[in-house]
Structure 1
Amino acid sequence: MVSISNHHISENAVTALVQQEGAPMWWLTGVYGPQGSADKIAFLHELADIRDLHAGPWVVAGDFNLIVNAEDKNNENINRQMLARFRALLNRLELKELYLNGRRYTWSNERQNPTMEKIDHVFAMNTWEDGYPANLLIALGTSISDRCPLLLDLDAEF
């Protein structure tokens, strides 16, 4: 059984404390990142502010509308300055990306010559992974959306 408490809602995120019987407590933040560059910079500040308000193990998941690596996009049209800002924030917040099984990209513009990107991510602190060493992040298929949903199994059997 899982309980959620101490929720906090901000411009682009919802954060709550997750408690599961027999497991350590941790914070979960679900995000939906904005589109414009100025809004993305404000969003990165928002993530830092969220972390300042919530001490302890933390997982941040959702549609960031940002890529972490150049390989997360299938063409060279990359805002490298924004990519660098995002990576710098992840490093400062001590977040690492959970490996996504089953798919390289999570979004497509679905055109004849498509742009594809991995803009949906799950990031966690090392202390969170200590409590959930058997976690597994997988991409689910979809035929009705331009993106694929992600499923995080906290106790995967390998």
Structure 2
Amino acid sequence: MKLLSWNCQGLGNPWTVRSLRKLVKDQAPKVCFLMETRLDKEGYDKHCKEVHFQNKLIVKRPNSGGGLALLWSKEVNLDVINYTDNHILAKMVEEDGFVWYLTCFYGWPDASQKQKSWALLKHLSTFVQGPWMCIGDFNTILHSSEKQSSHPPPYKQMDDFREALDLCNLVDMGFNGYPFTWNNKRPGIANTRERLDRAVANLEWRVKFPTSTLIHLFSHASDHSPLLLQTSDEGGLRNRGVQSFKFEEKWLLWEECEKIVAEAWSKDWRAPTSLANTKEKIGHCGAELLAWGSSRTHPNAKEIKRLQKHVEQLSVGVMTEESKAEFLVASKKLDDLFLKQEIYWAQRSRVNWLKHGDRNTKFFHSKAS
């Protein structure tokens, strides 16, 4: 099973939602835990309706920030036990009947309230009987090596965090990937990077899932890195059949598409009847579109990977005013490619219409007229 955990820092804008959909599509998690969504259930249903999970729990108090969301697929046997603004506790049942407890955790960010995090963690341990795993943004570090900054690490917070984990018999699970999960993206000596997000588990859970791995992913849409927990090896290939020609909605995002159609349609085939002439025009138009659009049909996976790597390198490198500006430009290009990719896959999943946002294009003016 795969579990995605991400402090997304707001799901009310298409930039972040597209990144979330991209993560879900690429990683195929069965469970997804989101923090700082800033959306209630109505807002989530409005902005994230294309994030397809059959089950969800949205936690959000009126007129407040924060917000949690737990999403899971229909094949996952998950029962929510309790929740607050800072946690969701659930009982998980595997296919073989094995029962374990999942805590999705969001620690208090303010230094003056850190003790509330550890009090909550200790309280949750009283509900657990057996294997237990906690994942999320704990909003503090465990070791001094988990902070890169001109400011000293918070030794008192670290000691309190270690004590809470010891009392709950929880151990850090380690990770694969870049060592820090949060970057304030400020240039020069003001830049700070920390490992605030993690997964911890007790001995019973680790014995059951000895090959489990935690990977630090990357997203340009948040200061926090998404975490991907995989409890076991998963594989399998999707069979792909032969594809027939079809007009790609994504082509409409290129201005030259209109020119290709106009030039192809303007040719006079001198057919014996108007109907025959129209059929010739349609056939020629389709052939011209196919020749022009063949290099634009499939989402540009290589360019997406190249930009993702470039943006990630800018994020993990030394942050300067120049690199920050370059990061924003590259992130915008990456988001545009995500949009084109979404249209491609939406058309293939038989979505009748995909709202592209407030984009001032000739296509949408013509559709509205």
Category of TM-score, reference length = shorter chain: over 0.9
User: 1:37 deviation in Å?
Assistant: 2.5
2:184 is aligned with 1:109: yes
- For 2:167, the equivalent position in structure 1 comes to 92
For 2:160 and 2:233, how far apart are their aligned partners in 1? 33
Mapped pair 1:154 → 2:228: no
Moved more, 128-137 or 76-85: 76-85
After superposition, the C-alpha distances for 1:99-123 in whole angstroms (9 at most, x for unaligned) are: 1101100000001132000000100
1:149 to partner: Cα distance: 0.2
1:25-57 Cα distance to aligned partner (Å, 9 max, x none): 110000111122332101110110000122211
Q: Which 5+ residue runs of structure 1 have no aligned equivalent?
A: none
Counterparts of 1:123-142 in structure 2, within 5 Å, are 123-142=200-219
Is 1:136–1:156's contact at 8 Å kept on the other side of the alignment?
Answer: no
Distance 1:120 1:137 in 2: 11
**In structure 2, C-alpha distance between the alignment counterparts of 1:68 and 1:25, rounded to whole Å:** 28
Distance 1:81 1:156 in 2: 38
For structure 2, which runs of at least 5 residues remain unmatched after alignment? 1-74, 235-369
- Greater helix percent: which structure? 2
Secondary structure at 2:178's aligned position in 1? Answer: coil
Q: Secondary structure at the match of 1:100?
A: coil
What is the rounded CA distance, in whole Å, between the counterparts of 2:229 and 2:213 in structure 1? Answer: 6
| Root-mean-square deviation over aligned CA pairs | 1.4
- Give, in whole Å, the separation in 2 of the partners of 1:9 and 1:50: 10
Greater share of strand: 1
Answer 1 or 2: higher relative contact order, Cα 8 Å, separation at least 6: 1
The CA distance in 2 between the partners of 1:12 and 1:123, in whole Å, is: 16
- Cα pair 2:108 2:116 within 8 Å, conserved: no
| TM-score, length-scaled by structure 2 | 0.41
CA positional deviation for 1:77: 2.1
Q: Is the 8 A contact 2:181 2:197 kept in 1?
A: yes
The residue number in structure 2 matching 1:41 is 115
Letter in 1 for 2:114: K
Structure 1 stretch displaced more, 76-85 or 146-155: 76-85
Tell me what 2:145 maps to. 71
Structure 1 vs Structure 2: percent identity of aligned residues? Answer: 29
TM-score, normalised to structure 1, is 0.93
1:83 matched to which residue of 2?
158
Match of 1:16 among 90, 97, 117: 90
Question: Is the alpha carbon distance of 1:64 and 1:6 closer, same or farther for their aligned partners in structure 2, counting shifts above 3 Å?
Answer: same
Runs (4 or more) in structure 1 with deviation over 2 Å come to: none
Quick check: 1:55 aligned with 2:129?
yes
Counterpart of 2:100 (choices 22, 26, 29) is 26
What secondary structure sits across from 1:99 in the alignment? coil
1:47 partner amino acid: L
Q: Which moved more, 1:107-116 or 1:36-45?
A: 36-45
Q: Give the greater-gyration-radius structure (CA).
A: 2
* 8 A contact 2:80–2:88 mirrored in 1: no
Contact 1:101 1:139 in 2 (8 A): yes
Would the aligned equivalents of 1:137 and 1:151 in 2 still touch at CA under 8 Å?
yes
Q: Specify the SS of the correspondent of 2:207.
A: helix
- The number of equivalent residue pairs is 157
